[in-house]
Chains A and B, each alone.
Chain A
Amino acid sequence: MAEKKIQCVCGFGCGSSLMLRMAVDDILKKNGLSADTFTGDVGTCLSNPCDVIFISRELAERIVDRASVPVIIIENFMDSNEVEEKVLAYMNSQ
């Protein structure tokens, strides 16, 4: 199976999304999983090929109706428990 492409999204793709991506990478590594993670901004994220989008609640509203891949809402980008739960739930569902 090809590696999953996980896109972490914030307003500009260079600040908070990077924090989120790190948290995701950390959890994948800790659990012996591997995926291709990258960051995107809310304006262009839907045109970046990926298998799933991780995003904050406020920003999710802007893309969820148009997204063709699952959109997973993260309330707290720096809460490793929440991110872990959601990353593992996604990875296990694949």
Chain B
Amino acid sequence: MEELVTLQRIGSRKKAENWQEAIRRAGELLLENGDIEEKYIDNMIESVRELGPYIVLTKGFALAHAAPSAVVKRTGISLINLEKSVDFGSSNDPVSVVMCMACVDKQSHIEHLQKLAMKLMEEGMIDKLSKCETDDELYKTINGV
């Protein structure tokens, strides 16, 4: 099995008061793993301020990302669910599952993201992810083990 998201980049029942904090909680996992510099988290939040909450791709799910840049050290993907959902100002609110993606360029992560997208589009997947109580449960659900 190929890991879609590694265990150290997964966080369950994270606490966030608002969408900015939700993005920050997901981004911190990439920061802790050395994938990004802190500035990338600011960039992700800034991009929602500027471009709107289009990153809320489906009911309850946001894919936070910013442009590839020098503050991305290596391509990484993290996944969290929230103890309490937050609103992004999107028609797909409230959001309780946040994925954070950092990529070094526009190409190298495509195959990986495609596999991830297939997984996320499975019937009921976001709902399942939102209900996971532990990191391990989240890990198993997203990686299909």
Contacts and interface: CB of A to CB of B under 8 A. Distances in A.
A19 B57 contact: yes
A37 interface: no
Nearest to A22: B117
A14 B109 contact: yes
A78 B121 contact: yes
Interface residues of A, number: 23
A57 B54 contact: yes
Contacts of A12: 47, 65-68, 106
Of B52, B61, B103, B109, most buried by chain A (CB within 10 Å of CB) is B52
Contacts of B121: 23, 78, 80
A93 B113 CA distance: 31
A58 B118 contact: no
Interface of A: 10-16, 18-19, 22-23, 41-42, 56-59, 75-80
Interface of B: 47, 51-55, 57-59, 61, 63, 65-68, 91-92, 101, 103, 106, 109-110, 113-114, 117-118, 120-121
Given A18-B113, A59-B51, A78-B57, 12 more contacts: A11-B51, A12-B47, A14-B65, A14-B106, A15-B63, A15-B65, A16-B57, A16-B63, A18-B110, A59-B52, A75-B91, A78-B117
